[in-house]
Structure 1
């Protein structure tokens, strides 16, 4: 009996080991381990540094490799070092049209799974569907156009262009047999965009076994005896860096506190330059995925400051690791967001929607002076993640839905 063939189309894949690249890799390898024949159409690894990795720069423009039994077809897409909106469009188009050749290389797929972003990857999946009569599943990790509008990357005076790209998005989404996304708020947004679609709630997950080890050594970046506040993740436009630096200003007179930023991304240069004004703040580049449990569990508290005008365009992938580390978090954002609901249900930290610097600083001082509270909040967060977001449960249910 021949194996069922699945082709996944998405710009991010291993060796990218954070955010969407990590989830797509784990999904592909899990499906392969369950007896499916999985192939990937993807780009060259570039995220979050926004440059193609040095060990891939000399590879041919179309490059095939096998990673953990998954066949990977790559196209060397254009990657801007300064990703403005117009350059991101070229980046998107380069990936999409360059990978058309790879459509002819994969085995006839029974299922095609397109990962958004990029929305244009749906075009590649649709072409496979038309040729092979495959079932097309679209999985939305980020409403990239909404995020661009909300975060100011796409200005409101380009209303005609906005209308056009949202029409293209709707047209492509309607080609799907099933559309999934990662939060209930995003599912509501999806249903407003595409009426009567067959939708599925496919949340992000965590390999909780890796993050629950209590004997993890302190990470080299967080070995001091200070009260350690950690931000780890993408340094991009979706985070509220103005608020972050306002908090740093408020902490200048505090003693025994250290802030550590571990990350890379489009805003890295600006953020790192400004960090140098503060002697209690350190920056390091992202660590490999295998070091992440040690890094996260070595902090005393995690922070994630999101712009409050963005509602559910994205569910931060870093959130689950933060919570599974058994440490509390302080998060800001819109009060109507999915993240706010998660923190309300989990009681694993604090969520603020009023942009109050004083509230955040009071919260930091309270946690610094109350270790028992830190322990209780951290335990709540860990238990919530294990119960609701373990990798095996979520992907097994996904496979059952796929086979329907």
Structure 2
């Protein structure tokens, strides 16, 4: 089949959505002719990668048998809601030009965000005769209005959600990455969604091959790690409050690794504390060393983001064979994952005393922590392994196309 993918994030981005879009494209390229319409890499630093700073407005390259059509989109150094909209529109305009270079498609896969890219996918469906498949990684409008947009923008939200509904109903097939998001998608579209979760390459996140790196952990402290996007969807007020409260227990040390809109604020408030270390994002080939040498992972989520996103970082946390402490909505799919796996702790409220006592308990019971970590790893290997998720997606793709 001739497969065209439209996705804003792609290799050499090696975290977040770009990692999964690249993995999907390169897997399909083993048996099919695959092209992708994308932008220049910028995530997670919100800065165009050094190798692409001097690239032309339009470029074409071949990477691991995938034909890559790039447009050098506007990239704000400090993203806001309206700057993100400008980036979205600019990417769409440039990608229309790249879309004209696609002469035939059997399948067009649009990775959301950006929702506006679905319109380009629809144009390609009409012009090249392909089936339009929409894959939702993030309900971007819902998430934006949970954090960025005040209530006075009710008219704006109504218009955007009507646009979203219209575009989603252009699809022949749709998919998303969690069961909760499937329910959400079914409310927005008449197309019955397919479950296509993100996956883990557990050979790359493997405690048996991890090398110690003293930048990310210390042998003299109990190391508590958050690694990932430092954005609006996590409860950073609680994180800062908790780290501050724990400075009276110097045997516990917090490592924050990542980049995002909240990074300056958080690091600015916590960098003076002796129990806190910030590190910028690590390349994918160092992620194993980072994740597997934590003693415990933490993720404090805002409950209002239930069913809008499914943090892919959860898979890496669990694959590292270390226990996790996660907070969020009381009826969350992530909660179900931890309950079924018995690989960590999930709370529906952020309570300093409860989590502090839990850390004491984990530190005091290393065998319990080891057992929980192994159960977490076993769960993701059995349910989210690359070698089962991607072949099933290909089967679904072929079935729907035929």
After TM superposition, the runs of 4+ consecutive aligned structure 1 residues lying more than 4 A away are none
Q: Which residue is equivalent to 2:28? A: 31
Deviates more, 1:330-339 or 1:15-24: 330-339
Q: Which residue is equivalent to 1:385? A: 380
Alignment size in residue pairs: 398
* TM-score when normalising by structure 2: 0.97
Q: Which residue is equivalent to 1:83? A: 79
Q: Which residue is equivalent to 2:158? A: 163
Instruction: Select the residue among 3, 6, 9 that pairs with 2:6.
Output: 9
Q: Which residue is equivalent to 2:135? A: 139
Confirm whether residue 209 of structure 1 aligns to residue 203 of structure 2. yes
Q: Which residue is equivalent to 1:116? A: 112
Matches within 5 A, 1:236-275: 236-275=231-270
Displacement of 1:250: 2.0
Given that 2:104 and 2:129 are in contact with CA atoms closer than 8 Å, whether structure 1 keeps it comes out as: no
TM-superposition CA deviations, 1:231-261 (whole Å, max 9, x none)? 1111111111001011112211113111111
Given that 1:250 and 1:361 are in contact with CA atoms closer than 8 Å, whether structure 2 keeps it comes out as: no
Matches within 5 A, 1:365-384: 365-384=360-379
Q: Which residue is equivalent to 2:18? A: 21
Alpha-carbon separation, structure 2, partners of 1:188 and 1:285:
35
TM-superposition CA deviations, 1:277-330 (whole Å, max 9, x none)? 311110111111011111100110001111122211000011100000000001
Alpha-carbon separation, structure 1, partners of 2:193 and 2:303:
27
Alpha-carbon separation, structure 2, partners of 1:100 and 1:378:
47
Alpha-carbon separation, structure 1, partners of 2:352 and 2:119:
44
Alpha-carbon separation, structure 2, partners of 1:238 and 1:62:
33
Alpha-carbon separation, structure 2, partners of 1:252 and 1:277:
11
* TM-score when normalising by structure 1: 0.97
Alpha-carbon separation, structure 2, partners of 1:238 and 1:166:
20
Given that 2:300 and 2:327 are in contact with CA atoms closer than 8 Å, whether structure 1 keeps it comes out as: yes
Alpha-carbon separation, structure 1, partners of 2:375 and 2:332:
20
Alpha-carbon separation, structure 2, partners of 1:188 and 1:198:
10
Given that 1:230 and 1:259 are in contact with CA atoms closer than 8 Å, whether structure 2 keeps it comes out as: yes
Alpha-carbon separation, structure 2, partners of 1:223 and 1:103:
46
Matches within 5 A, 1:289-328: 289-328=284-323
Alpha-carbon separation, structure 1, partners of 2:331 and 2:93:
37
Given that 2:252 and 2:275 are in contact with CA atoms closer than 8 Å, whether structure 1 keeps it comes out as: yes
Given that 1:5 and 1:107 are in contact with CA atoms closer than 8 Å, whether structure 2 keeps it comes out as: no
Alpha-carbon separation, structure 2, partners of 1:96 and 1:271:
33
Displacement of 1:216: 1.9
Q: Which residue is equivalent to 2:213? A: 219
Which runs of 5 or more residues in structure 2 are unaligned? none
Given that 1:17 and 1:288 are in contact with CA atoms closer than 8 Å, whether structure 2 keeps it comes out as: yes
Instruction: Select the residue among 121, 127, 146 that pairs with 1:125.
Output: 121
Alpha-carbon separation, structure 1, partners of 2:218 and 2:240:
22
Given that 1:207 and 1:391 are in contact with CA atoms closer than 8 Å, whether structure 2 keeps it comes out as: yes
Q: 1:270 to 1:223 in 2, by over 3 A?
A: closer
Given that 1:183 and 1:203 are in contact with CA atoms closer than 8 Å, whether structure 2 keeps it comes out as: yes
Alpha-carbon separation, structure 1, partners of 2:102 and 2:323:
45
Alpha-carbon separation, structure 1, partners of 2:2 and 2:300:
41
